[in-house]
Amino acid sequence: MGIAIDHKKISNLTFLCQRIESFLDHLAEVLALEMDAIKRSDLQKVEEITIEKLRIGNQIIEDSEKIEYLIQQMSSQDSGEIASGITDLLRIIDSRMIELSDEAAREVLDTLKMSVKILVEKRKLLQPKIEGNIYLTQKLLQNHRETQVFWQSLVAESESVYGKSGKPVASGNKSLLTVRT
């Protein structure tokens, strides 16, 4: 007689893996939109996209924590050792498939295994895009800050009575620019 599997946990794991896959697909689309918005210097759109990226990231974190919890439960049933990662899940699936004689249960585990492999592959493919996006948005933020400092100092200097060298500035050189802070 083979070991029993918890179909509900396996189904839950499969569902969570597939949902994270869809989040990663959506994230790839959002990153492409953000790249386009950055090229157009559309900072309002970049801000909206950043909020969307945070929402997607929070959903991925939430589902990943659920997966980790389910993996820990499954591993403690198997060997008493604590496992939490995707590679641990693949090891657990492989060990259970070897021991199972029930073909329906093997199919359920095989479906989960395929979902996990697809998830791992999508993550590997998306990782360079995420890292590139991090670099690009950091540069954009840095440039934005430098531009803001430049314009603030220009306005402050043009409105002051004395210039950088300490000499009086002609009173007719008032700036028409104002910078909000």
Q: What is the mean pLDDT of residues 166-174?
A: 61
At residue 81, the pLDDT reads: 62
Predicted TM-score (pTM) of this structure: 0.73
> Looking at this protein, which amino acid is placed at residue 19?
R
Q: What is the length of the chain?
A: 181
Residue whose pair of structure tokens reads 């000499």 in the numeric block: 167
Per the model's pLDDT, the better-predicted residue between 40 and 156 turns out to be: 40
Instruction: Give residue-wise pLDDT tens across range 123-144.
Output: 999 999 999 998 988 888 888 8
Give yes or no for a contact between 93 and 109, defined as CB atoms under 8 angstroms apart: yes
pLDDT surpassing 50 at residue 1? no
120-154 burial, b at 16+ Cβ within 10 Å, e below that, comes to eebeeebeeebeebeeebeebeeeeeeeeeeeeee
Q: Is the pLDDT of residue 32 over 90?
A: yes
Instruction: Write out pLDDT tens, residues 78-99.
Output: 666 667 677 778 888 887 777 7
Tokens of 13: 């794991």
Out of 41-50, 56-65, 78-87, 129-138, give the one with best mean pLDDT: 56-65
Amino acid at 137: T
pLDDT of 25: 96
